[in-house]
Amino acid sequence: MAETMLALEVQAQAILLPSRYNAEAVTRFAEKRPLKFNAT
């Protein structure tokens, strides 16, 4: 079970990390601006 959850987490991060949404979220966090939810 733990290995399955880890594999799912790895897949999810592989999709998220290179996304524009993630890049904007990191910038907003660094600049202490509020997060933007449900952005497309």
Q: Are 29 and 35 in contact (CB under 8 A)?
A: yes
pTM of the complete model beyond 0.85: no
The whole domain housing 15 covers 1-35
Q: How far apart are CA 36 and CA 39, in angstroms?
A: 6
| pLDDT digits (tens), the chain, 40 positions | 899 999 999 999 999 999 998 999 999 999 999 877 765 5
- Residue 21 inside a domain? The answer is yes
In the chain, what is the straight-line distance between the N-terminal and C-terminal CA atoms, in Å?
A: 32
**pLDDT score for 40:** 54
- Residue 20 inside a domain? The answer is yes
- Residue 23 inside a domain? The answer is yes
Domain count of the fold of the chain: 1
- In eight-state DSSP terms, residue 30 is H
Q: How far apart are CA 39 and CA 14, in angstroms?
A: 19
- Residue 40 inside a domain? The answer is no
